[in-house]
């Protein structure tokens, strides 16, 4: 079952605003991944983090692997309408190849 707490569950923001969402875990992870899922589509990998403290950007997206290895955040700067979707975090704790997923953050952007 899910062990990652992702927040917020949903956000309704104005176009141009910055967005921040995060995931926390009670256990240590060695990999943090952030995915975006558009309605009716599969999740698409946005950013992969492999080292504690790592800060990685992908265009307007920035994600960080928490130094405690128990959390990660994703920031989106200057949001645009096509940022709408559900964002998932996922982690791997090196116990095999399975990922643990957060519950998702539904982002809605008002033009």
**Which stretches of the chain bind other proteins, using CB under 8 A?**
1-2, 30-31, 33, 35, 40-45, 48, 50, 88, 90, 92-94, 97-99, 101-104
Shortest distance, CB of residue 100 to other proteins, whole angstroms?
A: 10
Separation between Cα atoms, residue 46 and residue 19, nearest integer Å: 15
Task: CB nearer to other proteins: give 45 or 108.
Answer: 45
Contacts of 6 (CB under 8 A, 6+ apart): 21, 22, 23, 88, 89, 102, 103, 104, 105
85/104 with CB nearer other proteins: 104
Take residue 24 and report the two structure tokens written for it.
């926390």
Nearer to other proteins, 39 or 111 (CB): 39
């Amino acid at each position: 079952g899910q062990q990652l707490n992702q927040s917020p569950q949903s956000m309704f923001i104005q176009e141009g605003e910055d967005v921040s969402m995060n995931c926390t875990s009670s256990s240590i992870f060695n990999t943090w991944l952030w995915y975006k899922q558009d309605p009716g589509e599969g999740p698409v990998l946005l950013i992969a983090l492999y080292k504690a403290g790592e800060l990685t950007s992908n265009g307007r997206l920035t994600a960080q692997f928490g130094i405690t290895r128990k959390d990660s955040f994703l920031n989106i700067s200057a949001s645009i309408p096509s940022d709408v979707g559900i964002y998932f975090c996922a982690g791997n704790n090196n116990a095999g190849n399975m990922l643990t997923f957060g519950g998702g953050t539904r982002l809605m952007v008002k033009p």
